[in-house]
Amino acid sequence: MSETPWYNRGLVSSLNLRQKTILTIALTGLVLLIIFICGLLTNANLPTDFSIKMQPPSFQHLFGTDWMGRDMFTRTIKGLSLSIMIGLVSSVLSSIVATILAFLASVNKFCDEFVSWLIDLFASIPHILLIMMISIGFGKGAFGVMMAVAFSHWVNLTRVLRAEVLQINTSEYVALSKKFGKSKLWIAKEHILPLVLSQIFVGTLLVFPHAIMHESSVTFLGFGLSPHEPAIGIILSESMTYLAMGSWWLAFFPGLALLIVVLLFDIIGDNLKRLFDPSEANN
State pLDDT tens for residues 99-117. Answer: 999 888 888 888 888 988 9
What is the rounded (10 degree) CA torsion for 224, 228, 231, 235? Answer: 100
Domain contains 213: yes
Examine residue 44 and state whether it is found in any structural domain, yes or no. Answer: no
pLDDT tens for 11-23 read 555 666 777 888 8
- Compute the half-sphere exposure of residue 235: CA atoms within 13 Å on the CB side of its CA: 33
The set of residues, in sequence order, having a beta carbon less than 8 Å from that of 147 and lying 6+ positions away, is: 93, 134, 135, 138
Q: What angle do CA 113, 118, 120 make, to 5 degrees?
A: 95
pLDDT for position 170: 79
CATH of residue 218's domain is: 1.10.3720.10
Torsion from C-alpha of 221, 223, 227, 231, nearest 10 degrees: -70
Indicate whether 232 pLDDT > 70. Answer: yes
Give the mean pLDDT of the chain.
81
Query: What's the rounded mean pLDDT across residues 190-217?
Result: 82
Residue 253 pLDDT exceeds 80: yes
The pLDDT value given to residue 150: 86
Domain count, the chain: 1
- Quote the CA–CA distance of 115 and 215 in Å, as a whole number: 26
Structural contact between residues 223 and 134, judged by C-beta atoms closer than 8 angstroms = no
Q: Residue 7 above 60 pLDDT?
A: no
Q: Helix 17-41 and helix 72-105: axis angle, to 10°?
A: 120
End-to-end CA gap in the chain: 30
Helix (H, G, I), strand (E, B) or coil at 71: strand
Residues 39/80, Cβ–Cβ less than 8 Å: yes
Residue 4 lies in a domain: no
Q: Is the pLDDT assigned to residue 84 strictly greater than 60?
A: yes
62-75 pLDDT, tens digit per residue, is 888 888 888 888 88
The answer to whether residues 203 and 153 touch, using CB atoms and an 8 Å cutoff, is no
In this prediction, residue 8 carries a pLDDT of 47
Q: Answer whether residue 21 is part of any domain.
A: no
Residue 49 falls inside a structural domain? no
Burial of 164 (0-12, 13-18, 19+ CB in 10 A): middle
**Does residue 17 fall inside a structural domain?**
no
Is 259 domain-assigned?
A: yes
Instruction: With cut-offs at 50, 70 and 90, classify the pLDDT of residue 44.
Output: low
| Residue 120 in this model has a pLDDT that exceeds 60 | yes
126 in helix, strand or coil? coil
In a domain, 248, yes or no: yes
What is the per-residue pLDDT for 262? 86
Is residue 2's pLDDT more than 50?
no
What is the band of 5 on the pLDDT scale with cuts at 50, 70, 90?
very low
Number of H helices, E strands in the chain: 12, 0
Q: 134 lies in which domain range?
A: 77-280
Q: pLDDT band at 204, cuts 50/70/90?
A: confident
